[in-house]
Every structure is written in structure tokens, then in C-alpha cells.
Amino acid sequence: MNIVKVKNYDEMSNKACQVLVDRMNKVNNPVLGLATGSTPEGLYKELIKTSRKGDVSFKHTTTFNLDEYIGLSKSNANSYHYYMKNHLFQYIDVNMDNVHVPKGDVLDIKKECQEYEKSIRSHGNIDLQILGLGANGHIGFNEPGTSFNSRTHIVDLAESTRQANARFFDSYNDVPEQAITMGIETILESKEIIVLVSGNKKAEALSRLVNGKISEDFPASVLKEHIHVTVIADEAALSAM
């Protein structure tokens, strides 16, 4: 696991954008794995700026998002479908037919999980996956205790995750109790992974990721088994090392 140390959130976002654009320009039809949450918002702003300058195009890019809340429709402002449209997709030249976010509002979620897996595989897997880090070590919505062999599946969200994400909702009770997420094995099949970590709130989690042992109790620890992972972390996130 390679660690790139940067000063602050803006530098992290800039660096991530540079890496992503570099990789996109090296592959003919790049397949990107995208994340939500506060952490990648700066990266998406940088990507929009870069694409406006003409330095990157998403015309031949396919995207797969990590996760979605169960029960929220695409038009719900707290859904990850909405987030992605609002923070990235509406501002770039991506073909929306090539955009994939797991559907959390279908009747048969299990079938949706299987189809999502099939779709990722049919695109030859993800070239570059962007990840944030949950304070409890979750990646996507894979909470502590999730099997390292998991594929796209339904999860019960940990109380701490619902508390952490309650800031986006009117109240804690409005945060869905379940989500659909790419599994850990699915994530590990990405050819390259970039983990973005910023701020004091993530310092303990980052220290555990770097210094702790590999265990299903801390899902992100599995990333140490992958051959091409780069963590881009700012000074505040690195403060507990």
C-alpha cells in the first residue's frame, strides 16, 4: 500500500484528480469505480474543471458506483443516484447509458445485486476504484464483520454509520437502515484502488488501516492484500500515526 501525504483536503482532491486523469488517458475505454460521501466532492469539482479545460473526456468512460441506500428513489436528494448527478454527471460529457449506480428502490434487490455483479464483469472489471474510508473502517457500505469474500449484497448499516451520515438527512430516523453495496471481493477485483482520507475524524481509522492487522473487523484492512493501492491522506488524517 503506497501512501501519498498531502497538506490538506484541496491538495488531496487535486492529487486524486491528477492520478485519475492520467489513468483515464492511458486506457481506451476506462471503467471507473466511484464513491460518494463528503470526501470525494473536491475530486469531482476538480474533474469538472479539468473536463471544462478539455484535458479529459468521459465520452468513452463507464462508471460503477459503490453503493446506494435501500428504499430511496433516484430523485430523492439523499440518494447516491442524486448525489452523483448533482456532483459530477450533469457537468461532464459522460454518456448516461454508461453510468451504473446500484438501484435501491427495486422490488427484487437480490436480483439487482446479481445483475450489478454481471455488469461489472462484462466490462472487464474496474480499472480504477475510488474509495473513501468510514470511521469504523467500512469501505463502500461493507461494515465491520463483512466477509472478505462478499460480492454485491444487502447490508444492515451500523448505528455509527447511520449517525455519521445523519448530517445529510433531516433526522437520524430518516437515514435508511439498509443499503446495497459492492462486496469486498468485488472491490478487490479492481485493477487499481485509490483511497482518499481527510481530516481528524478519520485519523484513528487511518492509523488502524496502516498499522493494524488484516481482519474482517476492520474491512479496509483487506486493501493491504491488493497489489495496487494508493492512499492519499492529508496531514489531519495522518495525525494519529
> Is 87 an active-site residue?
no
Which triple of cell numbers denotes residue 171? 433526522
- Is 143 part of the annotated catalytic residue set? yes
* Marked catalytic residue, from 67, 117, 189, 234: 67
> In terms of CB distance, is 93 or 156 closer to ligand GLP?
156
Q: 211: exposed, middle or buried (C-beta count within 10 Å: 0-12, 13-18, 19+)?
A: exposed
Eight-class DSSP state of 32 = E
Active site residue 14: no
Catalytic residue among 68, 127, 143, 189: 143
Catalytic residue among 136, 142, 153, 189: 136
Q: Which of 138, 153, 165, 189 is catalytic?
A: 138
Shortest spacing between CB 28 and ligand GLP, in angstroms: 28
Provide the binding-site residues for ligand GLP, judged by CB under 6 A. 35-39, 66-67, 132, 134, 140-141, 161, 165
Residue number with CB closer to ligand GLP (27 or 168): 168
Does residue 136 carry a catalytic annotation? yes
The CB-of-57 to ligand GLP minimum distance in angstroms stands at: 26
| 62-65 vs 31-34, strand pairing mode | parallel
* Ranges assigned E (strand) in the chain: 2-6, 31-34, 62-65, 67-69, 99-100, 128-131, 153-156, 178-181, 192-197, 229-234
In this chain, which residue has its C-beta nearest to ligand GLP? Answer: 132
| Least Cβ distance, residue 8 to ligand GLP (angstroms) | 15
Residue at grid coordinates 427484487: 108
Nearest CA to 219 out of 153, 171, 127, 167 is that of 153
CB of 66 to ligand GLP, least distance (A): 5
Residue number, 20 or 66, with CB nearest to ligand GLP: 66
Q: Please spell the DSSP secondary structure of 120-149, one letter per residue.
A: HHHTTS-SEEEE---TTS-BTTB-TT--TT
**Which C-beta is closer to ligand GLP: that of 27 or that of 145?**
145
Q: Are 82 and 75 in contact (CB under 8 A)?
A: yes
Q: What is the closest distance, in whole angstroms, from the C-beta atom of residue 65 to ligand GLP in the complex?
A: 9
CA distance 15 to 12: 5
- Angle ∠(83,72,196) on CA atoms, nearest 5: 35
Q: Between 57 and 76, whose beta carbon lies closer to ligand GLP?
A: 76
Residue corresponding to grid cell 482520507: 197
The residues annotated with a catalytic role in the active site are: 67, 136, 138, 143
